[in-house]
């Protein structure tokens, strides 16, 4: 045995991760169900480092030094279970299986519990950054036992993205913690992209062309919005279609798709009772964009303004949209990080939120300058919400005028901004002195005797609505 880590599954993610490991001096055993793919990997990448190709799982396992460290990078779901079922009987107590796929955290909890019973460590690990990240340094979000991290952490940290000399990889907590954090990362990614799309929509409604909007995003990328997604927005908006000479974005079908992690984020949030309204709006915005039948029935039939934004000076508009984008983004992070904290409390994971934000500074799709500020704020102490952190609170206070102007102008002009407006509604909800939830409670008591609390007395109360309307204390 000579390999200190192994990778199963050599499609784009697994192959690139194996190359990244080999480039960092690790000897990497590689195995794929279809052996031809293993051979192709070795053929193309042999010169990049030390690989040990295996034709069978037995050969693969025999090539690994103990404790064996095996990274599975196969299709999430049944594919992962199939590989685990074949692999686990070949391993020995103390060996470590890492699932680097996009697993649902409940599956990870189930697999971890089952493998723990037979003495194996199962480390559900979120990996973000797509295929380029896997090769050049992803953000890595491992769960699993602390013992497994002691054996695995240094290897993962060596191949992760590095920001300010720190790896974007750290142990997040037991069992499903890593995959949960990765799921919320993807949920925030949905919101980030929705906000960017709304910003583009408002800018074009104000008369900017796609290349002009690209210039705006490029400028934003030099300031506080500096992030991977803003950078590639400029790239996409600048792309000209070779056949027609028109901006490519104007030729792309306007129906957004999803693979499911946004859905998982929102489903889980509903179960935990965490209002991730910006993420939910972003998932729904994709669904609405793809609802061809409804859009065809409504287009040209439902009356409303025709995207005529009130005339404002372009500089002011661009700055306002920038501020709406920053503020909305902060709300999405606040909601997503709150979801992680709730789950961490519920499952006793002990996830450190400052660490989560730190891991997301590099390598992953939502990497952004803002994450340093967020990480620093959470490192100071427990925050009930990111929104009240000193530097965030003051940032929102400065920008909220612009944020409100954008939501109001877009709404008046008939430009849909579900992301910006739900973020703003959340901000106004949490800062409200009193909410109309009081009336909701009154209604619930009226039709269902669900009782209510009173602001001036402790206890549960019910009004006898259908008799003499006196109040009883329960």
Name which position in 4, 20, 27, 32 contacts ligand NBP (CB under 6 A): 32
Cα radius of gyration rounded to whole Å, the chain: 25
Residue 233 annotated as part of some ligand binding site: no
Are 152 and 160 in contact by the 8 Å Cβ rule? The answer is no
**Locus of tokens 């065809």:** 296
Residue 163 three-state SS? strand
Q: Which residue number, 74 or 279, has a Cβ lying nearer to ligand NBP?
A: 74
Helix ranges restricted to H, 24-99: 35-45, 57-62, 78-87
Looking at residues 58 to 97 of the shown chain, list those that interact with ligand NBP (rule: CB under 6 A).
Answer: 73-76, 79, 82-83
The answer to whether residue 12 forms part of the interface with ligand NBP (CB under 6 A) is: yes
The answer to whether residue 9 forms part of the interface with ligand NBP (CB under 6 A) is: yes
Q: What is the DSSP string of 432-445?
A: -SS-THHHHHHHHH
| Least distance from ligand NBP to the Cβ atom of residue 179, Å | 10
Are 49 and 26 in contact by the 8 Å Cβ rule? The answer is yes
Are 240 and 214 in contact by the 8 Å Cβ rule? The answer is no
Q: Which residue number, 33 or 372, has a Cβ lying nearer to ligand NBP?
A: 33
Name which position in 4, 20, 27, 102 contacts ligand NBP (CB under 6 A): 102
Active-site annotation holder among 182, 198, 281, 377: 182
The answer to whether 398 is a known catalytic residue is no
Helix ranges restricted to H, 251-387: 261-272, 277-289, 292-298, 314-347, 353-359, 370-380
What letter does residue 65 receive in the DSSP assignment?
P
Active-site annotation holder among 112, 157, 189, 281: 189
The residue nearest ligand NBP at its CB is 101
Are 367 and 377 in contact by the 8 Å Cβ rule? The answer is no
CA 126 from centre of chain: 10
Name which position in 53, 101, 174, 187 contacts ligand NBP (CB under 6 A): 101
| Least distance from ligand NBP to the Cβ atom of residue 311, Å | 43
Q: Which residue number, 189 or 377, has a Cβ lying nearer to ligand NBP?
A: 189
Peptide bond just before 67 cis, omega within 30 deg: yes
Residue 76 annotated as part of some ligand binding site: yes
Residue 191 annotated as part of some ligand binding site: no
Which of 82, 411, 115, 427 lies closest to 275, judged by CA?
A: 427
Residue 416: partners with Cβ closer than 8 Å, 6 or more residues away: 198, 201, 285, 410
Which of 98, 142, 103, 141 lies closest to 120, judged by CA?
A: 98
Piece in contact with ligand NBP (CB under 6 A), picked from 126-134, 158-166, 215-223, 447-455: 126-134
Name which position in 6, 14, 142, 362 contacts ligand NBP (CB under 6 A): 14
Piece in contact with ligand NBP (CB under 6 A), picked from 4-12, 171-179, 200-208, 444-452: 4-12
Residue 86 to residues 8, 33, 58, 91, 412, Cα–Cα distance (Å): 12, 11, 10, 10, 60
C-alpha span between 239 and 152 (Å, rounded): 42
Q: Which residue number, 127 or 318, has a Cβ lying nearer to ligand NBP?
A: 127
Residue 69 annotated as part of some ligand binding site: no
| Least distance from ligand NBP to the Cβ atom of residue 132, Å | 9
Number of residues that bind ligand NBP (CB under 6 A): 23
| Least distance from ligand NBP to the Cβ atom of residue 326, Å | 27
> What is the sign of the dihedral through the CA atoms of 385, 389, 394 and 395?
negative
| Least distance from ligand NBP to the Cβ atom of residue 51, Å | 15
Residue 102 annotated as part of some ligand binding site: yes
Are 112 and 175 in contact by the 8 Å Cβ rule? The answer is yes
Are 298 and 400 in contact by the 8 Å Cβ rule? The answer is no
The answer to whether 182 is a known catalytic residue is yes
Name which position in 49, 67, 130, 442 contacts ligand NBP (CB under 6 A): 130
| Least distance from ligand NBP to the Cβ atom of residue 78, Å | 7
The answer to whether residue 33 forms part of the interface with ligand NBP (CB under 6 A) is: yes
Residue 33 annotated as part of some ligand binding site: yes
The answer to whether residue 127 forms part of the interface with ligand NBP (CB under 6 A) is: yes
Number of H helices and E strands in the chain, helices first, is 19, 11
Residue 12 annotated as part of some ligand binding site: yes
Residues marked as catalytic = 182, 189
Residue list for the binding site for NADP(+): 9-14, 32-34, 74-76, 102
**Residue positions in the annotated binding site?**
9-14, 32-34, 74-76, 102, 128-130, 185-186, 190, 259, 286, 444, 450
Site residues, ligand NBP (CB under 6 A): 8-14, 32-34, 37, 73-76, 79, 82-83, 101-102, 127, 130-131
């Amino acid at each position: 045995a000579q390999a200190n880590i192994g990778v199963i599954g050599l499609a784009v993610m697994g192959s690139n991760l194996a190359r990244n490991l080999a480039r960092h001096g690790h000897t990497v055993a590689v195995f794929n169900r279809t052996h031809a793919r293993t051979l192709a990997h070795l053929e193309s990448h042999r010169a990049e480092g030390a690989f040990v190709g295996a034709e069978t799982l037995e050969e693969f396992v025999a090539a690994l030094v103990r404790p064996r460290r095996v990274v599975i990078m196969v299709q999430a779901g049944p594919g992962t279970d199939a590989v685990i079922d074949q692999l686990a009987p070949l391993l020995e107590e103390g060996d470590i299986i890492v699932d680097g796929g996009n697993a649902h955290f409940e599956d990870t909890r189930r697999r971890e519990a089952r493998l723990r019973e037979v003495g194996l460590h199962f480390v559900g690990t979120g990996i973000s950054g797509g295929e380029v990240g896997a090769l050049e340094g992803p953000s890595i979000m491992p769960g699993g036992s602390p013992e497994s991290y002691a054996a695995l952490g240094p290897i993962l940290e060596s191949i992760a993205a590095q920001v300010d000399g720190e790896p974007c990889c750290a142990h997040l907590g037991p069992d499903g913690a890593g995959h949960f954090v990765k799921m919320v990362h993807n949920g925030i990614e949905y919101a980030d992209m929705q906000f960017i799309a709304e910003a583009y929509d408002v800018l074009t409604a104000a008369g900017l062309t796609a290349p002009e909007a690209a210039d705006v995003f490029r400028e934003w990328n030099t300031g506080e919005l500096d992030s991977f997604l803003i950078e590639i927005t400029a790239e996409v908006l600048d792309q000209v279609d070779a056949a027609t000479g028109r901006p490519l974005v104007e030729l792309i079908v306007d129906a957004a798709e999803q693979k499911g992690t946004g859905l998982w984020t929102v489903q889980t949030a509903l179960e935990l009772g965490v209002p991730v309204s910006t993420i939910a709006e972003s998932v729904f915005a994709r669904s609405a964009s793809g609802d061809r039948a409804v859009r065809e029935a409504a287009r040209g039939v439902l009356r409303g303004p025709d995207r005529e934004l009130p005339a404002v000076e372009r500089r002011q508009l661009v700055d306002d949209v920038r501020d709406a984008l920053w503020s909305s983004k902060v709300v999405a992070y606040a909601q997503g990080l709150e979801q992680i904290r709730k789950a961490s409390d519920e499952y006793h994971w002990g996830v450190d939120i400052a660490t989560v934000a730190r891991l997301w500074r590099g390598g992953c799709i939502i990497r952004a300058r803002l994450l340093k500020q967020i990480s620093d704020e959470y490192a100071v102490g427990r925050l009930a919400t990111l929104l009240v952190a000193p530097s965030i609170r003051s940032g929102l206070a400065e920008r909220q005028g612009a944020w409100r102007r954008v939501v109001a102008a877009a709404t008046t002009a008939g430009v849909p901004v579900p992301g910006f407006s739900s973020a703003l509604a959340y901000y106004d909800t949490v800062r409200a002195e009193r909410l109309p939830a009081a009336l909701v409670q009154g209604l619930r008591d009226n039709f269902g005797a669900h009782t209510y609390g009173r602001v001036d007395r402790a206890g549960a109360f019910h009004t006898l609505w259908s008799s003499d309307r006196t109040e009883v204390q329960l």
